Amino acid sequence: MPQFDALSLIKWLHFIVLTMAGGGAVVALLLSGYEEEREDLRGLAATIWKRTAGWGFRLALVAGIAALLLNIQAGNNLLADRYMHIKLTLVLILLACSEMAPKGLAVGKRGAAMLALLLFMLASFVMYNQNMFGHKARPMPVPMAQSAPDGTMHADR
């Protein structure tokens, strides 16, 4: 019987809900282009966004926070890396845009929805290419003074 650890399951859940949210966002934006021409599709893009993309991004935030806490508990503080600060900033702006998108889509405005999709792609890029952003500068250890056999002090190099 395979054994699962909590971090792997949370990361998998994070991936699944992000996939749902990203797919829902693309479908909602594609449908919003047809709503102007077809009366029977009016309001469908806003409903799809609210039920798939909106809930997907919210659940992804919860799963991401859980994964971050489990990493910290395991001794791997991801907040010490520069890419995580960039990603979290993009995610917070993404959530704000995602919450505004259904109202905009309902009246035929796609700005917040398109910005949310762009921020989703940027956050994915940052996460996939995390080595490109480097790690947070760690403080250099201060050299300790040592005494030589003749009693003089010398600093380590």
**Would you say residue 148 lies in a domain?**
no
Q: What is the CATH number of the domain that holds 113?
A: 1.20.120
**Would you say residue 84 lies in a domain?**
yes
> What pLDDT shows up at residue 49?
92
Report the chain (157 residues): mean pLDDT per 10 consecutive residues: 82 95 94 79 87 95 95 88 92 95 90 94 92 67 63 60
**Would you say residue 149 lies in a domain?**
no
- What domain range includes position 20? 6-132
Total of domains in the chain: 1
**What is the DSSP code string of 51-120?**
IIIIHHHHHHHHHHHHHHHHHHHTT--GGGBHHHHHHHHHHHHHHHHHHHHHHHHHTT--HHHHHHHHHH
**Would you say residue 150 lies in a domain?**
no
